[in-house]
């Protein structure tokens, strides 16, 4: 499946992997917006604010599953590229063991963490109560989310990206139907929205697991291999550090933005950020879809010592990410005032949210460059470079700009921090790339396909 003879075939293979991942993330983004639509119309801006405060804890669970799925999946792809099927089976067994362990630990540890962090937000009792309930339901049901994210990476790297996409479509459809049923038809409130999310994750977890349990996979899952293979577990952690960090970055970023939105805008600021937090992640998801789509190809070519194909695939990824990012920026720029009304937000909160979107959306092209760059380095085993791009965001640049810019521009500085952070990160990546991490390659089909 990974073999190509010329530039045209490589480009076709690139889109064969990227489009399903991109489509899955687009559907995920649409689901996120529709979910926010039902919450906004069912519970108003207080419900939006509550989910905005609680959602980072769900993202932490996503980070755990993504780290296992992308880290283990990359190792599977590299092993298959080297024709080492037995090793790929052991890697899959180690992934399943980590899923079981991570599912138990996330449920136990995140509940007190969520309670502790939510006490620091000085919001109304109504918003605080809804946020606690939403976080609690998602955390106790975290095994479904861990398995979904981990198995998603495994299925894609097993050579079935379209199957993974269709399974996620089924899950998103389930979520939307249940949101309508449990939030609008039967007004179960914030609990209905949370349980709808959990049910959709359970659907995807079962369907993705069935790919391996029912013998439909190239890499066989064998019960005797489900164990903590120490060297493999260590490698999964190393390879999964970047995707884990991407999601942790999202969680930390959301917590920081909630904090600063509350400090400089009060309850209205938090509600406005909830709307921004529904729209901006759609662009982030699309860029992550491109990054996830190229990872199996780059890992395979790296394992097979096909350097020119690997680098060309990366450059196709960069071009696609910047183009998609520019399109997202333009779309939101020209519709920023329509978005708050879609979520049933009016008055001052709607004005604040519209301005927040206007100042935030130039971020997408820069963000795409950084995301694909981190994915490239992670896919070839350069976890140090990937981690620099990934962890520099939430732990250095975001706090720096979120602290300094609001001092100068108040709430506007909160929205601008997103742009300045990712512009700086993209510049760092360009410097790293030009310093020799990928040499210039020819663009003629024959020479590329003949390079090893």
Q: Which residue has the higher pLDDT, 221 or 444?
A: 221
pLDDT in tens, 163-205: 988 998 899 889 889 999 999 898 898 999 999 999 999 999 9
Q: Which residue has the higher pLDDT, 415 or 79?
A: 415
Q: Mean pLDDT for the chain?
A: 86
* Predicted local confidence at residue 241, as pLDDT: 81
DSSP characters over 329-397: HHHHHTTTTHHHHHTT--HHHHHHHHHHHHHHGGGHHHHHHHHHHHHHHHHTT-HHHHHHHHHHIIIII
* Predicted local confidence at residue 5, as pLDDT: 59
Indicate the pLDDT class of residue 40, thresholds 50, 70 and 90.
Answer: confident
pLDDT in tens, 403-452: 999 999 999 999 999 999 999 999 999 998 888 654 443 333 333 334 44
Q: Which residue has the higher pLDDT, 141 or 215?
A: 141
* Predicted local confidence at residue 287, as pLDDT: 92
User: Comparing C-alpha atoms, which of 125, 122, 141, 137 is closest to residue 54?
Assistant: 137
* Predicted local confidence at residue 2, as pLDDT: 56
The yes-or-no verdict on residue 60 having pLDDT over 70 is yes
* Predicted local confidence at residue 236, as pLDDT: 92
Give percent of the chain above pLDDT 90: 39
Indicate the pLDDT class of residue 132, thresholds 50, 70 and 90.
Answer: very high
The sign of the CA dihedral 224, 230, 235, 240 is positive
CA 252 to chain centre: 13
Least confident among 13-27, 28-42, 59-73, 297-311: 28-42
Enumerate the domain spans of the chain.
7-449
* Predicted local confidence at residue 447, as pLDDT: 39
């Amino acid at each position: 499946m990974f073999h190509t003879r010329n530039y045209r075939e490589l480009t076709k293979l690139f889109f064969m992997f990227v489009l399903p991942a991109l489509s899955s993330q687009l559907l995920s983004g649409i689901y996120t917006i529709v979910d926010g639509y039902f919450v906004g119309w069912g519970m108003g801006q207080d419900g939006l604010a509550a989910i905005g405060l609680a959602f980072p804890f769900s993202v932490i669970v996503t980070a755990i599953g993504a780290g296992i799925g992308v880290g283990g999946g990359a190792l599977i792809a590299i092993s298959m590229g080297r024709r080492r099927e037995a090793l790929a089976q052991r890697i899959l067994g180690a992934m399943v063991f980590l899923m079981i362990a991570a599912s138990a630990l996330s449920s136990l540890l995140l509940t007190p963490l969520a309670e502790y962090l939510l006490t620091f937000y000085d919001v109304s009792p109504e918003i605080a109560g809804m946020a606690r309930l939403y976080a609690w339901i998602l955390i106790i049901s975290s095994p479904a989310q861990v398995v979904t994210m981990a198995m998603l990476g495994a299925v894609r790297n097993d050579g079935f990206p379209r199957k993974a996409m269709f399974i996620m479509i089924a899950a998103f459809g389930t979520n939307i139907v249940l949101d309508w049923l449990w939030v609008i038809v039967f007004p179960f409130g914030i609990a209905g929205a949370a349980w709808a999310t959990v049910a959709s994750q359970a659907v995807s977890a079962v369907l993705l697991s069935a790919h391996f349990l029912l013998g439909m996979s190239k890499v066989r899952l064998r019960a005797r291999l489900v164990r903590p293979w120490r060297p493999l577990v260590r490698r999964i952690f190393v390879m999964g550090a970047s995707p884990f960090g991407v999601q942790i970055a999202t969680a930390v970023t959301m917590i920081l933005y909630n904090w600063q939105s509350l400090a400089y805008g009060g309850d209205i600021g938090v509600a406005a950020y909830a709307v921004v937090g529904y729209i901006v992640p759609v662009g982030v998801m699309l860029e992550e879809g491109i990054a996830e789509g190229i990872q199996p190809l780059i890992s395979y070519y790296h394992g097979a010592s096909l350097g020119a194909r690997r680098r060309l695939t990366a450059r196709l990824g960069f071009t696609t990410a910047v183009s998609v990012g520019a399109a997202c920026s333009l779309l939101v720029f020209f519709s920023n005032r329509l978005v708050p009304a879609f979520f049933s937000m009016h008055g001052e909160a709607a004005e604040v949210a519209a301005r927040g979107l206007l100042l935030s959306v130039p971020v997408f092209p820069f963000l795409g460059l950084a995301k694909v760059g981190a994915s490239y380095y992670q896919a070839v085993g350069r976890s140090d470079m990937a981690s620099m791009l990934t962890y520099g965001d939430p732990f250095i640049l975001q706090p720096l700009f979120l602290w300094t810019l609001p001092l100068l521009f108040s709430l506007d500085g909160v929205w601008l921090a997103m742009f300045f952070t990712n512009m700086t990160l993209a510049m760092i990546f360009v410097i790293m790339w030009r310093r020799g991490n990928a040499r210039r390659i020819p663009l003629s089909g024959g020479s590329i396909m003949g390079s090893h």
